[in-house]
């Protein structure tokens, strides 16, 4: 049994990435894994202010007692599998996701030994158009010790909520959840 944490960076509940997450979860639960999906849109996470307080205070952020990041990062640290879910916004990730990512600055040493997945969706029709967003995911996970890419699920050509249900990415999400080991 693996512990899976999904950071869901879309502001749209039941949108395309959210539906892909739910298929991934359905597959993973069928296989006996434990999954938690965290909606970043519902969390109060202050952007990193680059004060470097964490560098001289054992990774404690100035916002540690003031917002929801600490609770979230504890779950990420404890997880075997980390799923980054964000639609493509201006060739990149959403503000909600990027804000959370920047706060990992204080905790880079503690995030290690995980499989990492990227779940995304875009209005653009093919993966060719979303390489910059994929590079954002890859750059992020490259910062941590033994955090390795395990899969990418991309619903390209999805603009309206629900478009993704007709796509092969929808089946792929279930299969990747189910075959996760
Ligand atoms: C602010 C904003 C920026 C977007 N930028 C892009 C983009 O650069 N490329 C693209 O293909 N789609 C872009 N889209 C479309 C979304 O990626 C697409 O609608 C996706 O299915 C949304 O996923 P969600 O339903 O999980 O939120 C953008 C949408 C918004 C609201």
- Residues 137, 139, 133, 107: is their CA dihedral positive or negative? positive
129 CA distance to ligand 1 middle (Å): 12
> Tens digits of per-residue pLDDT, 50-61?
999 999 999 999
Q: Is the pLDDT of residue 181 over 80?
A: no
> Tens digits of per-residue pLDDT, 128-153?
999 999 999 999 999 999 999 999 99
Average pLDDT over residues 68-72: 98
Average pLDDT over residues 67-74: 98
Nearest CA to ligand 1 atom 8: 90
Helices (H), the chain: 16-30, 69-78, 95-103, 131-141, 168-179
Q: What is the mean pLDDT of the chain?
A: 97
pLDDT on residue 123: 98
With cut-offs at 50, 70 and 90, classify the pLDDT of residue 80.
very high
147, 107 Cβ separation under 8 angstroms: no
Nearest CA to ligand 1 atom 1: 89
pLDDT on residue 24: 98
Nearest CA to ligand 1 atom 25: 15
- Overall pTM > 0.75: yes
- Around ligand 1, the residues with Cβ closer than 6 Å are 10, 12, 15-18, 87-91, 121-124, 129, 158-159, 161
């Amino acid at each position: 049994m693996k512990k899976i944490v999904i950071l869901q960076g879309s502001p749209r509940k039941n949108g395309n990435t959210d539906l892909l997450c739910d298929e991934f979860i359905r597959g993973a639960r069928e296989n006996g894994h434990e999954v938690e999906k965290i909606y970043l849109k519902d969390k109060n996470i202050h952007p990193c202010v680059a004060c470097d307080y964490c560098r001289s205070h054992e990774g404690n952020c100035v916002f540690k007692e003031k917002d929801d990041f600490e609770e979230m990062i504890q779950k990420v640290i404890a997880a075997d599998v980390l799923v980054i879910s964000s639609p493509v916004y201006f060739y990149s990730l959403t503000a909600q996701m990027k804000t959370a990512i920047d706060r990992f600055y204080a905790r880079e040493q503690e995030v290690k030994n995980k499989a990492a997945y990227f779940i995304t969706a875009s209005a653009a029709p093919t993966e060719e158009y979303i390489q910059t967003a994929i590079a954002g995911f890859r750059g992020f996970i490259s910062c941590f010790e033994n955090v390795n890419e395990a899969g990418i699920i991309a619903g390209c050509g999805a603009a309206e909520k629900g478009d993704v249900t007709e796509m092969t990415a929808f089946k792929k999400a279930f299969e990747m959840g189910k075959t996760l080991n």
